Chains A and B, each alone.
Chain A
């Protein structure tokens, strides 16, 4: 009885202490701002604005996806996964790409979900299929591409994206047999949880789910922040058109547009308009390269992937995506 009272008392006091520290934090930050803002070059302020805007835009999606990741952690067992994923490798890849296509996600939000799925026993290649089609193919992206560039481009974007995802996931399945997560130790075995779970009430399961979501947020948040900062740095200090010194062939401009998609790290729902603004500058196949490549991999999400997976795997995935998308785009021009 006494302990319970003490607990609620502690709870109140801690909440109050947190509030006070938050208040001090805010006023300290603001006074730092007052001291430094006079000397800050305006380019830093611009950089900061772009950096924060990427975060403000991404954070709601990250929060939703860490909640989903928490849900997967607590409510989905390895047995479920075993039952749902087809035994056949090709079927598994196909299913994962289709599920990704149905599932609306953005390219940074999908990383925690895929990580959690793979830790639950989803084969790496199926995780990759889901990772690639999730942000690229979904109703919002289809619609914004249609509005910005017309139905043919929207169709090609989805079609080529889907084929590329299948191909990449297949090659990954040949190259990597084991799970490529960074913390691949005993910690990821979930058998203990599965057995322990029988006794848990729904309420305590929900509580665990939220705790996992919080840990996931801090785990992925740091990579999101680093990624957003680097992307903002590039936007502030690198001249876009300086990329265009590389050749004027279709292949050359496709490489440029892919590089651009990579460094800009745009959200897949917003990139169609940016792509459209290059209509007069590059062939439409190069815009297609921009639209297919960007959602699959970009600067921001490479850093997040790197936080979740082994370096060698991330590097291989990066090279594969680049090669496959580039080849497919060039095949299109021959048709």
Chain B
């Protein structure tokens, strides 16, 4: 009986993985990485890691002969056992790397620099040069024609609503009635409150048919984001929409026209009250907010918005 160092290191790594995910849940940092709807999956991962850790712990002191009784020569230890020491060392370093950075650095909230990389996906937003703008618009028009002739637009108007049959524990779920009630408020209430749980659904409704919301009051928050090619007085009050995890976020947000727009820095969180109006950018009707009231706010504890989900009972 002797100790097998390789197995010892692996047991250690499995334990650290479990500790890392436990830490994310314990501190709530998990919310900065993935959609809260999917936290159950990572809790399952903790259980699997701990279980595998125990199995691995047994292997550390396993007698070599004992192993080979179990798992005769055919049970190829084809994995990394055959590699040289330095190769195995590098492999373990690679696997430890995310754990070191995970414990070392707190998760960052995506900011305007990432938004600029991802780009705001609106046909009106051009790349700063006129030719690029026209180019994008031509593509936009091509889309329209294309979609008219070959691809029908989704029959369901509520684009951003995932309907899940299996309800998981999460705060973002709405029942069908709650959701309908929220959507009704879009037309009935005096002032449209773009709350986080309904933000994405309201946003897609308003951008689909901006004309019918002209003159409506709206209250919305987001971070200050400006793309090349915007006018002096324009900016977008942006949010990141997260489907699964930070890697699949896209940037959405309302265009704002405000004369003192230059007084604000990118990434500043603002709460704006104003009136919806539409402008015409190269044939595209696009909503924007005329500001009545503007106030700087702290970055919210949950900076991301998620597609609303309806619970079907």
Chain A residues with a Cβ under 8 A of chain B: 3, 6-7, 10-11, 14-15, 18-19, 21-22, 25-26, 29-30, 32-33, 36-37, 40, 42-43, 45-46, 48-57, 59-61, 63-64, 67, 143-144, 147-153, 183, 187-194, 196, 200, 204, 207-208, 210-211, 213-219, 221-222, 225-226, 228-229, 231-232, 235-241, 244, 248, 250, 253, 264-267, 269-271, 273-274, 276-285, 335
Contacts and interface: CB of A to CB of B under 8 A. Distances in A.
Nearest to A282: B139
B214 interface: no
Contact of B119 (A14, A57, A239, A270): A239
24 contacts: A14-B57, A37-B106, A53-B246, A54-B247, A56-B33, A59-B21, A144-B162, A147-B163, A183-B78, A196-B72, A208-B71, A211-B59, A211-B71, A217-B52, A240-B118, A241-B127, A244-B132, A244-B135, A248-B139, A266-B247, A270-B245, A281-B136, A283-B143, A285-B146
B56 interface: yes
B104 A270 contact: no
A210 B109 CA distance: 37
The 5 lowest CB-CB distance pairs between A and B, nearest first, are A192-B74, A33-B104, A187-B76, A150-B154, A29-B103
Interface string B265-308: 00000000000000000000000000000000000000000010
A22 B59 contact: no
A335 B149 CA distance: 11
B72 A207 contact: no
A83 to B, nearest CB: 20
Interface residues of B, number: 106
Given A7-B1, A56-B245, A193 B71 contact: yes
Given A214-B10, A270-B243, A279-B121, 18 more contacts: A18-B15, A18-B53, A29-B104, A37-B104, A48-B101, A49-B109, A56-B34, A59-B21, A67-B48, A211-B71, A213-B52, A218-B79, A218-B95, A222-B94, A235-B114, A236-B117, A239-B117, A273-B241
Contact of B105 (A48, A187, A276): A48
B113 A281 contact: no
Contact of A57 (B138, B156, B244): B244
Q: Which of A219, A232, A283 has the most CB of B within 10 A?
A: A283
Interface string B91-106: 1001101111111111
B98 to A, nearest CB: 6
A274 B152 contact: no
A145 B71 CA distance: 45
Nearest to B94: A222
Given A60-B41, A204-B70, A210-B55, A225 B143 contact: no
Contacts of A207: 55, 70
Contacts of A238: 117
A285 B24 CA distance: 40
B75 A193 contact: yes
Given A217-B52, A238-B117, A248-B142, A26 B77 contact: no
A282 B182 CA distance: 32
A143 B159 CA distance: 12
A212 B184 CA distance: 55
B193 interface: no
A51 B98 CA distance: 8
Interface string B124-139: 0001000010011011
Contacts of B138: 248
A253 B139 contact: yes
B152 to A, nearest CB: 6
Q: Is the interface of A mostly helix, strand, loop or mixed?
A: helix
Given A57-B247, A147-B162, A218-B95, A49 B61 contact: no
Contact of B108 (A46, A57, A190): A46
B19 A22 contact: yes
Nearest to A207: B55
A68 B111 CA distance: 39
Contacts of A239: 116-117, 119
Contact of B244 (A37, A269, A277, A335): A269
Interface string B144-188: 001100111111100111110000000000000000000000000
Contact of A33 (B49, B105, B153): B105
Given A210-B55, A218-B95, A280 B102 contact: no
B244 A52 contact: no
Nearest to A231: B247
B108 A52 contact: no
B260 interface: no
B41 to A, nearest CB: 4
B73 interface: yes
B221 interface: no
Contacts of A285: 146, 150
Nearest to A153: B151
